Structure 1
């Protein structure tokens, strides 16, 4: 009881001062101390999935999404459409029409791929990246990430539930959590485990595992080019891309599957549309 009372006082002081005096600053250590007080509340897989779903809906509303007949969506459906269920999850997927090179997956099984990523990777390389993101979901990294984002937002906005359950959040709060999901920084161990998941996913389903080395090599080259600043920020929590490529190559060598990968041009099969034609009947009057 004493410990809970101390925590309550800290929360009151924190929220009271932060709302009455905007000039007061709190360092990371103090914020971390308050966050620990929110760590004990119940946050289940179902909570993570529910919160992820509403957060993803918020993100979706802020992006241009490829329609069913868009070449990007046709291609993604061809690549990933057969893997919508598995590992205890139902995956749903969409393409954001945006030039950024990125993809993410959330605890509810939502997979979002940026068109900029699809522009630079072939089908196998793209499946490696999607497999990596699936790995974060299956390994519960995505659940842990949204829990951390929720705790941070709950602490800042004062929405922590005293009933030890997830509180209802406003649209702006969901937007912040959604952004945190996209930019979530998993540990290097989690990233390496997700890489391994992607490699095993390719191997299990009969794809060329050497695409893993190729995908990471592409990211490594981009980090040296014109998009280096963006790629560096995106990959800051990941192991070095060159290192990841070498690790993938060594795995393929150990499995006796290694061979230099040849990047393939993406082929999108256009949608066949049936055109209905009508023949106009003409009648002639007898004179």
Structure 2
């Protein structure tokens, strides 16, 4: 499996992991005129779809009969229409550990995340990403990514039109989307959405606690594995604190069940 790019649930939203995308042609440009361009939710969804379509073409996507796809279908098929959102989902077969969702309703789960997460833990991760979409956290990130990819300055952006991007620009926009980050407030609100999603659908909310504890363990690993992952955690809320917030709410709701010591599995949970 290949590497992809880091940063969603751990994380952010349509923003993900320092991966092995083929970005040699990506543009290295600054962002100007961010406020000059009129940018609607429809624009955000359109550009997000274009960026995700580019990523789908440049990463290994699990096929319909692949065990990863079969498992995700069992878990998530009934949530294709969730809270007014029309969602589509796929699995990227990559070595990095993450998941992300975008303004167009695209949800992408990384196979290596599925290898270490139980079903309830995965649902909590996906619920968090859906929360970012529902809360429109990705809109500004995509707007900024678009302007970077199109190399727009204030003057060109003032035309208030969304230009068509070429392949190189789409790659640059995808990279910028994945490098974006959310505020602590946005992350907290997405955590709350995930908890409410789990509770409303009768899932084990303690799965969200376990997911954060596993992410905390990953961030504490040393050696070569840690480098890219640690950089991501340095720019996101502390996973242990997020786990404790989930625990307090579950206790208040009478839904807390002590999972004991949370550890990382030594064998893949998807086979």
Pairwise TM-score range, normalised by the shorter structure = 0.7 to 0.9
Tell me what 2:109 maps to.
113
From the superposition, tell whether residues 159 and 69 of structure 1 become closer, same or farther in structure 2 (CA, over 3 Å): farther
Q: CA deviation at 1:92?
A: 0.3
SS at match of 2:168: helix
Task: Indicate the SS of the match to 2:220.
Answer: coil
In the alignment, structure 1 residue 56 sits paired with structure 2 residue 52: yes
Tell me the TM-score normalized by structure 1: 0.76
Please, which moves more after superposition, 60-69 or 163-172? 163-172
CA distance in 1, matches of 2:37, 2:241: 38
The match for 2:245 is 247
- Structure 1, unaligned runs of 5 or more: 1-25, 271-287
Cα distance between partner residues in 1 of 2:35 and 2:53:
26
Match in the other structure for 2:170: 174
1:98-177 map, 5 Å: 98-155=94-151, 160-177=156-173
Whether the 8 Å contact between 2:52 and 2:174 is mirrored in structure 1 is yes
Instruction: Decide whether the 8 Å contact of 1:38 with 1:160 is kept in 2.
Output: no
Q: Bigger CA drift: 61-70 or 229-238? A: 229-238
* Aligned mates of 1:183, 1:76 — CA distance in 2: 25
Q: How far is 1:267 from its partner?
A: 7.1
TM-score calculated relative to the size of structure 2: 0.81
With a CA cutoff of 8 Å and minimum separation of 6, indicate the structure with the bigger relative contact order.
2
Change (3 A) 1:81 1:266: farther
Structure with the bigger percentage of helix:
1
- Give, in whole Å, the separation in 2 of the partners of 1:195 and 1:90: 20
Pairing 1:91–2:83 present: no
Contact 2:208 2:246 in 1 (8 A): yes
Distance, in Å, in 2 between the alignment partners of 1:106 and 1:240 is 23
Count of equivalent residues:
237
Deviations 1:85-116, CA, capped at 9 Å, x for gaps: 12222100000001110111110000001101
Distance (Å, rounded) in 2 between the aligned partners of 1:190 and 1:174: 26
RMSD of aligned Cα (Å): 2.4
Contact 2:36–2:157 (CA under 8 A) maintained in structure 1: no
Q: Gaps (5+ residues) in structure 2?
A: 1-28
Tell me if structure 2 keeps the 8 A contact 1:39–1:151.
Answer: no
Q: Give how far 1:228 is off.
A: 2.5
